[in-house]
Chains A and B, each alone.
Chain A
Amino acid sequence: MIVPKKFGWFIIGVSALIVTLFSLSIIGIEPTDLLETTFMAMTPLILAAVGECLDEKAGVVNIGLEGIFLITAVTGVYWAEIVGDGVGGLIIGGAIMGGLIGLLFGIISTYGKAAQVVAGMGLNVFGLGFVPFLMVALWAFPGIHMFDPKLVIKTIDIPIGGEIFRLSPITIFAIIVVIVIDVILYHTLLGLRIQAAGEKPEAIDVAGVNVNHIRILASTICGALTGVGGAFMPLGWFGGLVKEITAGRGFIALAAVVFAGLDPILAAVSSFIFGFSEGLAFTVMITPGVKEVVPHYFIKMIPYIATIVALAIVGSKRFPKALAKPYIRE
């Protein structure tokens, strides 16, 4: 648990956020709109980033998050239409589908001794091509699919001072996942084994634990969480599906992981920061008085520039010793 240790930073962060929101409200940006979009944008990032933290702790690096996002965004909608329920789509087309991809990735990374970065990039290229194909194959229309608005996952409406703040239950789920993963990683035997699989796999091998099984488990969880994030984008957030729906968020999630140095709670915090930059871009774009002055293309760059700047500030971090190395018993 890192939050109690860094409680001072937490207070500073919250105060900085309040000051930012207040100053933005002066130029006409609604703080509730901004926070709403921030929480929406944060959700897929948190899910993928926390999954990737677990995966990399176990020694598997999966840069194919973008590919999983893409595929599960489509399968999520497909299954939601079949079962007639958004959450059902999120579970079958998101979690299970993503979990299967993660399982496959885990198997080729361990038993297949794959070059994981290459395989992950292959997964991204596969997603890039498979998704437009899949959309035509499923709905016979290229690149875009609108679905029944009833399938969109209902938000929880919280009234704040006359305004209504819409929070997705999936956002709450994502925050719970962060805490659960943090507890598992730092306070359970399984967590210890996961960390050992990434740092010193021979140690748990000697203790009679199968390194490959631990890694495949981590990879499957990572895939499942990323899958929920992917299906959340059309089902919980946008309410529609286009073939570029992910817009590089898989890589922003990877950046959040690096930024956090593989700590789940810090990964959630950095997802919030990146989500905030995206929320800012969205709200600024529709704010009167801004869109006439600054071309919207520059505002759209904000999340990507923020990601680069954040990484430049933290610099390089320490990663597990056996990361991306298949375990071969000597």
Chain B
Amino acid sequence: MAPAAIQRFKRPLLESLLAIIVGFIVGAIVMVIFGYDPIAAYSALLIGSIGSLDGICESLANATPLMLTGLTFAIGMKSGYFNVGAEGQAYLGAIGAIMIGSTIHLPYGVHLAVATLFAMLMGAIWSLPVSALKAWRGVHEVVSTIMLNWIALFFVRYLIEYHYYEPGRAERAMPVLPTARYQVLGASLTTVIFVVVAFIFFAYFLLWRTTLGYELRLTGSNPEAARYIGINSTRVIFLNFFLGGLAAGLAGATQVLGRPPSWTIYKTLGNVMNLGFDGIGAALIGRNHPVGIIFASIFLGILSYGAKFMMYLGVDPDLTRAINGVIIIALSLPELYRIVRRFITGRETE
């Protein structure tokens, strides 16, 4: 890589690294306060997640949906929107995948493709009220997306309980048929990860190499200029949230069509819950850049899978989500980097 490019990415990389360190330090302090051993807990986390091939596969499998929910948030941020609707849209994607995957009979390949696309579409449809409310009624997307997340939770639970439950095992939906399953690569990692990475690069191409993407980005970076050159803001809103919805729907689908051993969702929605919120961290750590998000998601995947191994020490695995929250807060602070840098080098920076 050329030195200029390194220079360009150096500061964002250091900022993300610093935020991650702050997150781990706060996590360690919390563990000490409650009488746990942070060093033992963190090493259990790391050995469990990246200490074996199975662990690496599981971590990558955990990272897969976060890449997409992170992308949803990042696309929103590119136009200056705070889209936290990936959570609910992922639920819809998951049930969409089951609707096609477990009830319709189609040949392998075709079935998989149809189920995947339908799941994406379901996620995107769930984004339409958000866009309509924002474009025509000026309703802020944070409130409308969170409300829709809750509505989605009850709606999907209703669909599972009343229409798509597995006979004899009412606590979950029908698993998808073998013709609608991605091939297993190892542990619970499947080929769906390639579809996800391809989708991310598609989004990258769309955002940086097309006029449409330029319009989306200009609306975020310079709304006045965007208005001045006649960019239709209603169109930008709808496109942005629709694209985000496609990604979030696919995130839900990965947990059904591409996640052994269950190949389905439970009525608690436990295996799709909080994907949207974890994705916010992925987007922010990855600096809202598609490639950054891939690596940030892998980091969070390691964290979330490894967290299970902290349980042997009595530490609740949800602590890693708290660490994720601290990382997000640290990333919201531009001053933090400046202060630490001044502390280390002893001089004022640019």
Determine whether B323 belongs to the interface, using a CB cutoff of 8 Å to chain A. yes
Assign chain A's interface to a size class: 35 or more
A312 at the interface (CB under 8 A from B): yes
Chain B positions within 8 Å of A173 at CB level: none
Q: Is A133 an interface residue (CB 8 A)?
A: yes
Taken together as a complex, chains A and B put the C-alpha atoms of A247 and B129 apart, in Å, by 21
Taking CB atoms, residues of chain A closer than 8 Å to B84 are 121
Beta-carbon contact of B332 and A312 below 8 Å: no
A276 at the interface (CB under 8 A from B): no
Q: Is the CB of B318 within 8 A of A132?
A: yes
Asked if B281 is an interface residue, CB under 8 A from chain A, the answer is yes
Separation of A248 and B277 alpha carbons in the complex (Å): 13
Asked if residues B335 and A112 are in contact (CB atoms below 8 Å), the reply is yes
With contacts defined as CB atoms under 8 Å apart, how many contacts are there between chain A and chain B in the complex?
Answer: 162
B316, A123: Cβ atoms under 8 Å?
no
- Near A by CB (< 8 A), chain B positions 149-176 give 149-151, 154-155, 157-158, 161-162
A308 to B133, CA, bound (A): 9
Beyond A255-B143, A312-B137, A316-B139, whether A128 also contacts B333 by CB under 8 A is no
Judge whether A118 and B331 touch: CB under 8 Å. Answer: yes
Query: Which residues of chain B come closer than 8 Å to A147, judged between CB atoms?
Result: none
From known contacts A113-B335, A128-B321, infer whether A301 and B144 are also in contact, taking CB-CB under 8 Å.
no
- Closest Cβ of chain B: how far from A323's Cβ, in Å? 12
Asked if B277 and A115 make an inter-chain contact with CB atoms under 8 angstroms apart, the answer reads no
Bound CA span A205–B318, Å: 43
Q: Contact: A297 with B139, CB < 8 Å?
A: no
Q: Are B158 and A298 in contact (CB under 8 A)?
A: yes
Question: In the complex, A63→B278 CA distance in Å?
Answer: 17
CB distance from B33 to the nearest CB of A (A): 9
Minimum CB–CB distance from B245 to chain A (whole Å) comes to 17
Interface string of A308-326 (1 = CB under 8 A from B): 1001100110000000000
Residues of B within 8 A of A308 (CB): 129, 133, 139, 143-144, 147-148
Is A119 in contact with chain B by the CB < 8 A criterion? yes
The answer to whether the Cβ of B326 comes within 8 Å of any Cβ in the partner chain is yes
Residue of A112, A258, A295 with most chain B CB atoms under a 10 A cut-off: A112
Which residues of chain A have C-beta atoms less than 8 A from B336's C-beta?
112
Chain B nearest CB from A12 CB (Å) reads 23
Interface centre among A108, A304, A316 (most CB of B within 10 A): A304
Q: Are B155 and A297 in contact (CB under 8 A)?
A: yes
Q: Is the CB of B325 within 8 A of A304?
A: no
1/0 per residue, CB under 8 A from B, across A105-142: the answer is 00010011111111101111111111111011110101
| Inter-chain contacts of B139 with A (CB < 8 A) | 258, 308, 311-312, 315-316
Cβ-based interface call for A220 (8 A): no
The CA-CA distance from A133 to B330 in the complex, in Å, is 20
A170-210 vs B, Cβ < 8 Å mask (1 yes, 0 no): 00000000000000000000000000000000000000000
> Is B203 at the interface (CB under 8 A from chain A)?
no
Q: Which residues of chain A (272-320) have a CB below 8 Å from chain B?
A: 295, 297-298, 300-301, 304-305, 307-308, 311-312, 315-316
Cβ of B21 within 8 Å of any chain A Cβ, yes or no, is: no
Q: Chain B residues near A315 (CB, 8 Å)?
A: 137-139
Contacts A295-B162, A311-B139 given; indicate if A124 touches B329 (C-beta within 8 A): no
Chain B residues in 8 Å Cβ range of A298: 154, 158
Chain B residues with CB under 8 Å of chain A are 30, 34, 36, 82, 84, 129, 133, 137-140, 142-144, 146-151, 154-155, 157-158, 161-162, 274, 277-278, 280-281, 284, 314-316, 318-336
Give the top 5 A-B pairs by smallest Cβ distance, nearest first.
A129-B321, A126-B325, A316-B138, A122-B328, A129-B322
Interface residues in chain A, defined as those with a beta carbon under 8 Å from any beta carbon in chain B: 63, 67, 108, 111-119, 121-133, 135-138, 140, 142, 247-248, 251-252, 254-255, 258, 295, 297-298, 300-301, 304-305, 307-308, 311-312, 315-316
A–B complex contacts, Cβ < 8 Å, 10 sampled = A108-B333, A125-B281, A125-B321, A251-B142, A255-B143, A258-B140, A258-B143, A301-B155, A311-B133, A312-B133
19 additional contacts (CB under 8 A) given A114-B332, A125-B324, A254-B143? A108-B333, A113-B333, A114-B329, A114-B334, A117-B82, A121-B84, A121-B280, A122-B327, A122-B332, A124-B325, A125-B280, A125-B328, A130-B319, A130-B321, A137-B316, A251-B142, A251-B147, A255-B147, A316-B137
